[in-house]
Amino acid sequence: MTTAKIRVLATGGTIAGSAGSALQRGYAPGQIGIDAMMASVAELGLDAELDGIDIAAVGSQDIGWRDWQALHREIAAATSDDGISGIIVTHGTDTAEETALLLDLTHPATKPVVLVGAMRPADAVGSDGMRNFANAVRVAGDHMAAGRGVLVVMGDSIFAAIDVRKAATSSIDAFRGFPRGALGMVTPLTLDWFGPPDRPGAAARFAWPDALPHVEVVYAHAGMDAGLVEGALSRGARGIVLAGMGQGNAPTTVLDALEAAVKRGALVVRASRVDEGSVDRNLEVDDDARGFVASRSHNPQKARILAQLLVASGITDPLAAQAHFDRR
């Protein structure tokens, strides 16, 4: 068996965090360098050669365009390097689903790209970081991981970027998948896929943009008025994602303001503030008449990433945009 050669791109997060005490609740993310992390996982004796690049050392709430540009550049280079079997991105959990989807939509599904994080810092009692990292090494080094797009490995589960979401604030098993659950299960010793790759050899859906356009998420609530919509437009938003009630709904005055935003050239996507479920077209809201897009299985934060790529690609016609939200 050929030893897998894996490129590790580190961005910080809890997986590289330190509390200074095994019982300390608070901690600082991104305190442990990638060399130290790779040395620790090397001691486990996994059949892999790792080399690492530090991209950032931040909590993922601070991940932004510059970090995404660096990740894109390094993933593209590793993908074109015949000597590299797979890529791991260490990442904070708060925005892991957003980074994963952005990378998934802008890179070909030819080599495994695996995001991994932790829910507890490295020096906490019961830290999950090293196990998750070891699991990510096993996944990234497996040839069956290719052709599945970007993957997220957390809590012994493997999720597709398009399905994954953070569903709990602090549990070790905080990540879930919708509409699909996990694609497989992994431990440092075992790896079981629940089905074959569904995107073998698929090209990137979008070219990497020069910049991500301004798209805002507007959170619906009882008694809201249209001020949040007007505020987003006044700040130059080229798209608005509604984190709507239930099936992506909002008060009529808000829907009217969103319809007016469409007429001014904005891409408007209806998503839901509900944790799980699809937002479908023309149920409670007449999307055809108002010019809206239904987010389907994309939650608001993922809908924003896809909307940004659509606007950056010049795709603002509602039906053309809908085709991308419908696509798996």
Q: Which of 2, 3, 11, 14 is catalytic?
A: 14
Measured in whole angstroms, the distance separating CA 279 from the mean position of its chain's CA atoms is 19
User: Percent helix, strand, coil in the chain (nearest 5)?
Assistant: 30, 25, 45
Q: How many CB atoms lie within 10 A of CB 58?
A: 17
List, as one string, the DSSP characters of 59-118.
-GGG--HHHHHHHHHHHHHHHT-TT--EEEEE--STTHHHHHHHHHHHS-TTS-EEEE--
Which residue stretches of the chain are H helix?
34-42, 65-79, 96-106, 129-140, 227-234, 252-263, 287-290, 300-312, 318-326
Eight-state DSSP code of residue 132: H
How far apart are the C-alpha atoms of 149 and 169, rounded to whole Å? Answer: 26
Distance of CA 149 to the CA centre of its chain: 12
Instruction: Please confirm, yes or no, whether 79 is among the known catalytic residues.
Output: no
Known binding site: residues?
Answer: 60, 93-94
Torsion, CA 136, CA 139, CA 141, CA 142, rounded to 10: 180
- For 323, list phi and psi in degrees, rounded to 5: -60, -35
Radius of gyration of the chain from its Cα atoms, rounded to whole angstroms: 20
Interatomic CA distance for residues 76 and 68, integer angstroms: 12
Q: Which residues are annotated as a binding site for substrate?
A: 60, 93-94
Which residue numbers are catalytic? 14
